[in-house]
Amino acid sequence: MSTDGKDPAAAQLQDEGEMLGTAHVGDLEAKADAILKGAEAAIEQFDTPEQAKQGRTKKAPQPFRLEDLVGNEGPPDKCSIDLIRDVDLDLRVELGRTEMLLEDVLKLRRGSVVTLDKLAGDPVDLFVNGRLVAKGEILVLNDNFCVRVAQLIGSDSLD
CATH number of the CATH domain containing 86: 2.30.330.10
Shared domain for 47 and 111, answered yes or no, is no
Inside any domain, residue 16: yes
119 located within any domain: yes
DSSP H or E stretch at residue 120: none
The tally of domains found in the chain comes to 2
65 inside domain: no
Q: Is residue 15 part of a domain?
A: yes
Confidence check: pLDDT of 92 > 90: yes
Would the pLDDT of 13 be above 70? Answer: no
Neighbours of 125 (CB within 10 A): 19
CA 51 – CA 58 distance, rounded (Å): 9
Q: Per-residue b/e over 81-100, b at no fewer than 16 CB within 10 Å? A: eeeeeeeeeeeeeeeeeeee
Residues 96 and 37 reside in one and the same domain: no
Shared domain check, 41 and 89: no
Expressed as residue numbers, the domain containing 14 is 8-54
Residue 156: half-sphere exposure toward Cβ, Cα within 13 Å: 0
Q: H or E stretch including 34?
A: helix 22-44
- Per-residue pLDDT, averaged over 58-80, amounts to 66
Question: For residue 74, what are the contacts with CB-CB under 8 A and spacing of at least 6?
Answer: 80
Domain match, 91 and 143 both: yes
* Whether residue 76 has pLDDT greater than 60: no
Is residue 104's pLDDT more than 80? Answer: yes
- Which comes out higher in pLDDT, residue 50 or 20? 50
Q: Which of 138, 134, 84, 89 is nearest to 116 (CA)?
A: 138
**Judgement on whether residues 96 and 42 belong to the same structural domain of the protein:** no
Q: Do the domain assignments include residue 139?
A: yes
| Residues 112 and 152 occupy one common structural domain | yes
| 73 domain-assigned | no
* Residue 137, domain member (yes or no): yes
Give me the pLDDT at residue 16, please. 55
> Stretch 2-10: mean pLDDT, rounded?
59
Return the SS3 of 125.
strand
Q: Is the residue at 60 inside a domain?
A: no
* Shared domain check, 89 and 45: no
